[in-house]
């Protein structure tokens, strides 16, 4: 098969990581794979396999995510069998691609909890098929946007960083940030954007019982980071809240932390939470689309109503105070669940099987 990925930019977000993982895997399986982005560069650009052909549309980075000059011409030159649109901007062009190339199977994707713009909705109605990355996302497409359920496949995100067979405890990293053996480290990994809501995690943590020995590690970069840093300074939490910056591979962070925390208001499925579960981290997360599919609810993760800080703090306090044996048993369950539910080989095979079925039955 000739497979074309369309993506606006290879920034460091979860959708972009899934794009690179899938493109690399399809190419390794022997399929002619091209990754076409609107903007050049991006933090994940260097993680694309040499087996994947790379094309960019903007001759220099205009910083306009929606600007795709020559998209139809470039796609025509590639003549793909499958066009997979990843991200909101690319999906906005999916309908136009399907109209121009009716012999190709254009596959739209639903990987967001945000409201879909009209152009996105029109595209999803025009494409050959849609992949939603959670059952919640599929239900949203059916109930809110009136799309036919038989047109939608659910394929969960794949683990981008599967844990090593023997998990290790990253004590040097804990020491670097002043965490003792008794300190419980709360971890969040994600871009600093308004919808990711790291500010809420700081507010929640600030109200934890004074006797608890905790740190909150926030890994990532983005436009809302400076405001979060100011909030930490205002609350005098500099010794407890650590800003770790962007990590190409967050595995060492998972191996140093004790609990995953998440307060995003807009999700379809959280890469961070499934990666954290795979490394044995229990999770406390605000309710959002697809969140309950990231863990075994009530056993390896707990979903909290949006904005209920008291409930979030209470759940955190109980988890941080849990006996070591019970915590270890739950952690083992989390690892098993994530490795089985989000196995990369399984997810890659699901995409390829879908593509083959679309080519057999256009």
Question: Is 246 part of any domain?
Answer: yes
Question: Is 165 part of any domain?
Answer: no
Same domain, 136 and 179: no
Same domain, 149 and 183: no
Over 60: is that where the pLDDT of 222 sits?
Answer: yes
Give alpha helix (H) positions in the chain.
14-28, 71-78, 88-92, 94-100, 118-126, 135-143, 171-176, 198-206, 225-234, 251-254, 271-278, 309-320, 324-341, 344-360
Same domain, 264 and 176: yes
The model's pLDDT over 318-329, given as tens digits with 9 standing for 90+, comes to 998 887 767 888
The model's pLDDT over 23-46, given as tens digits with 9 standing for 90+, comes to 999 999 999 999 999 999 999 999
- For the ranges 143-157, 158-172, 224-238, 316-330, the lowest mean pLDDT is seen at 158-172
Question: Is 48 part of any domain?
Answer: yes
Beta bridge partners, 8, equal: none
CA distances to 82, 102, 268 from 337, in Å? 31, 40, 19
Averaged over 138-151, what is the pLDDT? 96
- Taking the C-alpha atoms of residue 110 and residue 90, their distance in angstroms, rounded to an integer, is 11
Domain count, the chain: 2
Q: What pLDDT does 301 receive?
A: 96
Same domain, 182 and 115: no
Q: What pLDDT does 362 receive?
A: 60
Question: Is 273 part of any domain?
Answer: yes
Question: Is 166 part of any domain?
Answer: no
**CA-based radius of gyration for the chain:** 21
Q: What pLDDT does 321 receive?
A: 85
CA torsion, points 270, 271, 276, 282, in degrees to nearest 10?
10
Q: What pLDDT does 165 receive?
A: 56
Same domain, 39 and 53: yes
Q: Which CATH number is 31's domain given?
A: 3.40.50.2000
Q: What is the mean pLDDT of the chain?
A: 94
Report the share of the chain in percent with pLDDT over 90.
88
Same domain, 113 and 189: no
CA angle 170, 171, 176 (to 5 degrees): 105
- Taking the C-alpha atoms of residue 310 and residue 56, their distance in angstroms, rounded to an integer, is 47
Over 60: is that where the pLDDT of 186 sits?
Answer: yes
- Taking the C-alpha atoms of residue 291 and residue 179, their distance in angstroms, rounded to an integer, is 29
Same domain, 77 and 142: yes
Same domain, 115 and 197: no
Range of the domain at 271: 171-341
Q: What pLDDT does 12 receive?
A: 86
Question: Is 144 part of any domain?
Answer: yes
Same domain, 108 and 201: no
Report the share of the chain in percent with pLDDT over 70.
98
Same domain, 134 and 235: no
Over 80: is that where the pLDDT of 166 sits?
Answer: no
Question: Is 118 part of any domain?
Answer: yes
Question: Is 289 part of any domain?
Answer: yes
Q: What pLDDT does 327 receive?
A: 80
Over 90: is that where the pLDDT of 287 sits?
Answer: yes
12 CB-contact burial (10 Å; exposed 0-12 / middle 13-18 / buried 19+): middle
Q: What pLDDT does 206 receive?
A: 95
CA angle 169, 173, 179 (to 5 degrees): 90
Q: What pLDDT does 34 receive?
A: 98
Same domain, 96 and 34: yes
- Taking the C-alpha atoms of residue 214 and residue 182, their distance in angstroms, rounded to an integer, is 9
Same domain, 280 and 190: yes
């Amino acid at each position: 098969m000739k497979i074309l990925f369309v993506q606006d930019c290879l920034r460091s977000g979860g959708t972009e990581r899934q794009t690179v993982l899938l493109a690399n895997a399809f190419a390794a399986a022997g399929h002619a794979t091209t990754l076409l982005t609107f903007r050049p560069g991006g933090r994940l650009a260097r993680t694309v396999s040499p087996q994947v052909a790379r094309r960019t549309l903007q001759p220099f980075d205009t910083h306009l995510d929606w600007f795709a000059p020559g998209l139809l011409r470039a796609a025509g030159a590639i003549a793909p069998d499958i066009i997979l649109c990843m991200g909101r901007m690319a999906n906005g062009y999916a309908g136009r691609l399907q109209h121009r190339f009716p012999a190709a199977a254009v596959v739209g994707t639903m990987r967001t909890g945000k409201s879909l713009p009209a152009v996105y909705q029109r595209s999803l109605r025009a494409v050959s098929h849609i992949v939603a990355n959670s059952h919640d996302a599929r239900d949203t497409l059916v109930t809110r946007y009136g799309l036919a359920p038989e047109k939608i496949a659910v394929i969960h995100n794949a683990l981008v960083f599967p844990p090593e067979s023997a998990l290790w405890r990253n004590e040097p990293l804990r020491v670097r940030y002043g965490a003792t053996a008794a300190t419980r480290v709360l971890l969040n990994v994600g871009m600093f954007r308004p919808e990711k809501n790291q500010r809420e995690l700081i507010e929640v943590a600030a109200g934890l019982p004074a006797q608890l020995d905790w740190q909150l590690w926030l890994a990532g970069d983005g436009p809302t980071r400076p405001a979060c840093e100011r909030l930490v300074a205002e609350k005098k939490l500099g010794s407890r809240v650590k800003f770790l910056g962007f990590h190409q591979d967050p595995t060492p962070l998972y191996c140093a932390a004790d609990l995953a925390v998440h307060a995003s208001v807009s999700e379809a499925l959280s890469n961070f939470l499934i990666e954290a579960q795979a490394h044995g981290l229990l999770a406390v997360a605000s309710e959002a689309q697809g969140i309950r599919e990231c863990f075994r609810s009530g056993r390896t993760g707990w979903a909290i109503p949006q904005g209920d800080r008291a409930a979030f703090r209470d759940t955190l306090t109980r988890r941080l105070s849990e006996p070591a044996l019970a915590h270890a048993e739950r952690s083992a369950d989390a690892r098993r669940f994530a490795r089985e539910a989000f196995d990369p080989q399984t997810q890659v095979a699901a995409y390829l099987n879908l593509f083959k079925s679309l080519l057999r039955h256009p």
